Amino acid sequence: MKIDILTLFPDMFNGFINESIIKRAIDFKKVEINIYNIRDYSKDPHKKVDDYGFGGGKGMVLKIEPIYDALESIKTNDSKVILMTPQGIKYNQAKAYELSSLKHIIIICGHYEGYDERIRSLVDIELSIGDYVLTGGEIPAMAVCDSVIRLIDGVIEKESHEKDSFNENLLDYPVYTHPKEFKGMKVPDVLLSGHHANIAKWRREEQIKRTKDRRPDLLEKS
């Protein structure tokens, strides 16, 4: 899979692509990530990419021309173009699975007050990572990329993501490691029993209990 990211702050992605599982996925050619500076597509002598909004109001608006030109040079027939915005549809695990099967995604990260509305006509989907507003689309883009890349075959063990929270609309079950007791807090006996059927039953019950307590909205869907 290829992921191209359009941003005004390319350096924000340095840590993301150079550490841990994402770095390994890149090294093993499971994913190719290219970071493009939107400013490089500005034809303005000062490399301006934003301007005042018509009709007044505070804040600057990202212009359409550099985004259009960047997409023209990057896009192919296989590309899906995503705009990160708090006004997008809410991102979730199901969407992550959907995106993980694509060949090429292009993610546009905005900054400033907003995008020129006409940029919306250039994209396939608008995504929001939640009902809060960040200073730009870079952190949301990293969240989307991270959640998609870990689902690509061979990046992590299939078993680890098949049991993730949100698969089947249930939160994850509790897990424990050594020591068996810490300051009076004990690992549940069933996990030490070696009885696989009982362990599976306990985990399922814990998933349902936890989801009921914390995310009853998910349980209604499951």
Q: Is 147 among the residues that bind ligand ADE (CB under 6 A)?
A: no
Q: Is 130 among the residues that bind ligand ADE (CB under 6 A)?
A: yes
The nearer residue to ligand ADE, 125 or 134, going by C-beta atoms, is 134
Q: Is 174 among the residues that bind ligand ADE (CB under 6 A)?
A: no
Residue 164 catalytic?
yes
Q: Is 114 among the residues that bind ligand ADE (CB under 6 A)?
A: no
The nearer residue to ligand ADE, 1 or 144, going by C-beta atoms, is 144
Candidate list 45, 55, 132, 162; residue touching ligand ADE; CB under 6 A: 132
In the complex, the smallest distance separating the C-beta of residue 125 from ligand ADE, rounded to whole angstroms, is 12
Catalytic one of 164, 203, 206, 215: 164
Q: Which of residues 183-202 bind ligand ADE (CB under 6 A)?
A: none
- How distant is the alpha carbon of residue 167 from its chain centre? 16
Catalytic one of 10, 39, 146, 150: 150
Residue 150 catalytic?
yes
In the complex, the smallest distance separating the C-beta of residue 33 from ligand ADE, rounded to whole angstroms, is 18
Q: Is 129 among the residues that bind ligand ADE (CB under 6 A)?
A: yes
The DSSP-derived string for the chain is -EEEEEES-GGGGHHHHTSHHHHHHHHTTS-EEEEEEGGGG--STT---EEEPTT--SSEEE-HHHHHHHHHHH--TTEEEEEEEEEEEEP-HHHHHHHHT-SEEEEEE--SSEE-GGGGGG-SEEEESSSS--SSSHHHHHHHHHHHHTTSTTTS-HHHHHT-TTGGG-PPPP---S-SEETTEE--HHHHS--HHHHHHHHHHHHHHHHHHH-HHHHHH-
The residue whose Cβ lies closest to ligand ADE is 140
Give which of 141, 134, 25, 150 is closest to 93, Cα–Cα: 150
The nearer residue to ligand ADE, 124 or 189, going by C-beta atoms, is 124
Using CB under 6 A as the criterion, which residues of the chain lie in contact with ligand ADE when the complex forms?
84-86, 128-130, 132-134, 137, 140
User: What is the set of active-site residues?
Assistant: 86, 113, 150, 164
